[in-house]
Structure 1
């Protein structure tokens, strides 16, 4: 056999293009086109995030990402995932640069790496487009738990509150919302590129029908248990001041000033996180006496965020005073903010960074579900950062919370990115759990959210606000409140395993034919 014969393609195979400079250049350009598509997909996903409300950009981003991933080997999927992750996380985490530029870089690298790793779960075959939304759901599930107990900012579901997919929240929580949102976009790409379009169309129609039926049947058990006339206070003041530099007494006085206008026929008054700063337990302080007087004057249960400082640590609590002025219950924040309320491996970081100057003492972690037993009823509580974690809100509701309180403090941030994201998280918890959510922040955003996720009242940033509304008390549990993320995680795991099995079977069949 001559050299020419040895290089000739087999008769049964597709004729190969010669490896000329032009052919190499064409493949190089095609690779760059995919990278650009991956970057654009990440930017589209970022464009759907709060404070924007362009929910439709997320399905478009998922469709573009799916098309870019099809046919790629694992190394190329890893690179493409990193590019898409950069397009998503660089703009949505940019607020971190105001705190610690090196910290922003570290978080960005970690989040981009997680996004890239998730793309390794994707099956590049045209018929298995559904592994893309499954991988994105897996990514969100990991980010809600890793590192340091999770860092779910931003969350893909939080851009969907004004879109149709949020209707699935009572059934499967934010992970199901992510699955349906990205699945819709991936399905469009699947229909366009699939060889067997009829089979793909049947699969898409079946998934849509099952999802619609599940959403329609996702009704909470139980029913209304009355209503509360509530007031939520925001003292206002300057923004962009780190917590260690804030004047605690000024914050307290602004809130008392705003509360002078409270009517005398309220059921519940909510003040923000860190409304009151004291040394040692709050019970015997002058501030506690003033809060008791406020409760007696309004005839309401008053809940305020209290910071109790010690020599080497502090406690972040929500404390409730009854209408007669008695201190009746308290909840201490269980899910602390890493590098915000405590420093993991503090001894190591004290040698590597000046970040510890922003967090001179660690918060003492609380225990148990966030529940306050009060004359206004059992009140669920998630303090600030905890609103981003559905397990904390679920624990409060399953313990008996008939309304959900979110005392928070976003005064350290100069932009509206984080305050708007917190409101979105409060709205998502409301939809997941069928509970009204009251969120109070010293400088905003303060908001009253109804059980359907709609906003009844919302204040501005930096201004004094006093929001009032009548909200329902609820006792029933949604399917998601009962089951949590487990059904969605099992479904996603099964989908990814099925994708892997199809891939292995396809390889074996090709080997048998060869």
Structure 2
């Protein structure tokens, strides 16, 4: 066991390395030494030492990982969210410390130490990720271990296991290799064979085959519009930016046009002028238009995606089901305003929580609709696939998280989530942003087309449609519950072993 000060240094280094595994740096192999360093720091510790070590590691990771939040909103939201996530991280590492310290008492054989303890700690890691992905206020499903692997050879596992299952497999691999390294009396040959064999087993899982059910030609338009929260632009300029980037497509063979979140900054249902503009664009290109806007119904505002057809107007709409707390609405406003009234008042209106389905039937093509952070919500992604989505349209507005002179990691992190969703669901994903990064991702996770950030343009591509059902879609939550349950049961057995030893002593 390391001295306390050394364990805290290891924790800080672990958190920093953990962030480096994610985009924009995207050094995915470094996830494994990062997790190993953290587990080394936790070995031999009691619960409260585990919490302290986890708080250091979690704070280091989260405050680096979401530094993009400071670009416009300043340090207070960044510190609040980062430290909240670090608290959850630390509660999880407290339990992992108990499993690492008392697990060898519960499973005293070599097979138990190498075979069981890595499963338990990976299950506890997955449990913590699963809770924070849904709670509080709908959770923040960012920073999960799986999301570091969007371009790694381990990415195909997500089609079999889902996001939580992939996180479990990655953390298990790190814990298993560490157990082999630390196991006393084990010859070097078996340490190497075991490590290489575990890696080979995970890499040997084949990619889930995607069967095409046809193609549809999609024009995804990035207007390079400053649509940020504090953008001081006259109404209609963001709409104009996207019109300007779309009209050069006239004469192209297009089945649908997709604009990003907030691309129509004037609601065409309440503005005849905006409606005429959408009609004109849709008629000239000769295709239905999917666009983001802000709508109002029954005195409630919604972040909405509209399906617009010329001469018909809105034929379908999706209201964002997972608005971001403290950005798109303030939960328990009266309570939180007492802590930071000036900051809370920046969110001048609360968007409602959408209750509509998240698919559009676009001339026979069933498209799943995701608005911004919706793409990180496992439940919403499963819902759209269960509703028959053949392609995913991920509309987003990243203008709050960087400028051409000061880009941040946020859009790259979000694109990584979209890339894994493509593999997980066996669907093409059209990730279209106001300012980028925008890309069309094939079902195998490869990039079919892309647009650089802060550049106006359009991607016009024949996009693969699919009705494939990967194992991850029906089984993903079941896998999460299973491994989280194994982790919880394992730490209970470790605590019982501790009690028996102390009682015997």
TM > 0.5 fold call? yes
Provide closer, same or farther for how the CA distance between residues 313 and 325 of structure 1 changes in structure 2, counting only shifts above 3 A: closer
Q: Give, in whole Å, the separation in 1 of the partners of 2:342 and 2:271.
A: 36
What SS does the aligned partner of 1:59 have? helix
1:375-425 CA-to-partner distances (Å, cap 9, x unmatched) read: 151111011110111211111111011100011111111233211111111
2:334 is equivalent to residue 355 of structure 1: no
- Tell me which residue corresponds to 1:335: 322
- 1:293 CA drift (Å): 2.4
Q: Please list every run of 5 or more consecutive structure 2 residues that lacks an aligned counterpart in the other structure.
A: 105-112
2:436 is equivalent to residue 410 of structure 1: no
The question of whether the paired residues in 2 share the 8 Å contact of 1:342 and 1:363 is answered with: yes
Provide closer, same or farther for how the CA distance between residues 373 and 196 of structure 1 changes in structure 2, counting only shifts above 3 A: farther
Which one of the candidate residues 45, 66, 78 is aligned to 2:51? 78
2:83 is equivalent to residue 95 of structure 1: no
**Higher Rg:** 1
Q: Please list every run of 5 or more consecutive structure 1 residues that lacks an aligned counterpart in the other structure.
A: 1-26
Provide closer, same or farther for how the CA distance between residues 351 and 503 of structure 1 changes in structure 2, counting only shifts above 3 A: closer
Q: Give, in whole Å, the separation in 1 of the partners of 2:50 and 2:184.
A: 22
- Tell me which residue corresponds to 1:14: none
2:38 is equivalent to residue 38 of structure 1: no
Q: Give, in whole Å, the separation in 2 of the partners of 1:489 and 1:206.
A: 27
What SS does the aligned partner of 1:260 have? helix
Which one of the candidate residues 299, 307, 318 is aligned to 1:320? 307
Provide closer, same or farther for how the CA distance between residues 375 and 497 of structure 1 changes in structure 2, counting only shifts above 3 A: same
Q: Give, in whole Å, the separation in 2 of the partners of 1:284 and 1:76.
A: 59
Provide closer, same or farther for how the CA distance between residues 206 and 367 of structure 1 changes in structure 2, counting only shifts above 3 A: farther
Q: Give, in whole Å, the separation in 2 of the partners of 1:259 and 1:473.
A: 23
Provide closer, same or farther for how the CA distance between residues 202 and 196 of structure 1 changes in structure 2, counting only shifts above 3 A: farther
- Tell me which residue corresponds to 2:149: 160
Which one of the candidate residues 451, 459, 465 is aligned to 1:473? 465
- Tell me which residue corresponds to 2:139: 150
Q: 1:97-176 alignment to 2 at 5 Å? A: 97-98=70-71, 99-122=73-96, 123-125=99-101, 127=113, 128-176=117-165
Q: Give, in whole Å, the separation in 2 of the partners of 1:480 and 1:430.
A: 12
- Tell me which residue corresponds to 1:4: none
The question of whether the paired residues in 2 share the 8 Å contact of 1:436 and 1:451 is answered with: yes
- Tell me which residue corresponds to 1:185: 174
What SS does the aligned partner of 1:320 have? strand
The question of whether the paired residues in 1 share the 8 Å contact of 2:254 and 2:460 is answered with: no
Number of aligned positions between the proteins: 481
What SS does the aligned partner of 1:468 have? strand
Which one of the candidate residues 421, 429, 435 is aligned to 1:437? 429
Q: 1:104-503 alignment to 2 at 5 Å? A: 104-122=78-96, 123-125=99-101, 127=113, 128-195=117-184, 197=186, 215-216=205-206, 218-219=208-209, 223-238=211-226, 241-242=228-229, 245-262=232-249, 263-278=251-266, 282=269, 285-309=272-296, 313-322=300-309, 326-352=313-339, 353-414=341-402, 415-503=407-495
Q: Give, in whole Å, the separation in 2 of the partners of 1:51 and 1:437.
A: 20
- 1:224 CA drift (Å): 1.9
1:177-215 CA-to-partner distances (Å, cap 9, x unmatched) read: 2122222222221111124748999997997687567x4
2:16 is equivalent to residue 50 of structure 1: no
The question of whether the paired residues in 1 share the 8 Å contact of 2:51 and 2:90 is answered with: yes
1:34-84 CA-to-partner distances (Å, cap 9, x unmatched) read: 111111111111111111220011111011111111111112111111111
- 1:369 CA drift (Å): 3.0
- Tell me which residue corresponds to 1:7: none
The question of whether the paired residues in 2 share the 8 Å contact of 1:268 and 1:376 is answered with: no
The question of whether the paired residues in 2 share the 8 Å contact of 1:248 and 1:275 is answered with: no
What SS does the aligned partner of 1:484 have? helix
- Tell me which residue corresponds to 1:8: none
Q: Give, in whole Å, the separation in 2 of the partners of 1:387 and 1:340.
A: 17
The question of whether the paired residues in 2 share the 8 Å contact of 1:291 and 1:325 is answered with: no
- Tell me which residue corresponds to 2:109: none
1:216-272 CA-to-partner distances (Å, cap 9, x unmatched) read: 38556xx32210111111111448x42564444111111111111114310111001
Q: Give, in whole Å, the separation in 1 of the partners of 2:275 and 2:136.
A: 37
Q: Give, in whole Å, the separation in 1 of the partners of 2:408 and 2:296.
A: 29
Q: Give, in whole Å, the separation in 1 of the partners of 2:217 and 2:311.
A: 17
What SS does the aligned partner of 1:117 have? helix
- 1:322 CA drift (Å): 3.5
Root mean square deviation, CA, Å: 2.7
Q: Give, in whole Å, the separation in 2 of the partners of 1:197 and 1:478.
A: 39
The question of whether the paired residues in 1 share the 8 Å contact of 2:127 and 2:480 is answered with: no
1:131-163 CA-to-partner distances (Å, cap 9, x unmatched) read: 332222122111211221011233322211111
Provide closer, same or farther for how the CA distance between residues 73 and 457 of structure 1 changes in structure 2, counting only shifts above 3 A: same
Provide closer, same or farther for how the CA distance between residues 496 and 350 of structure 1 changes in structure 2, counting only shifts above 3 A: closer
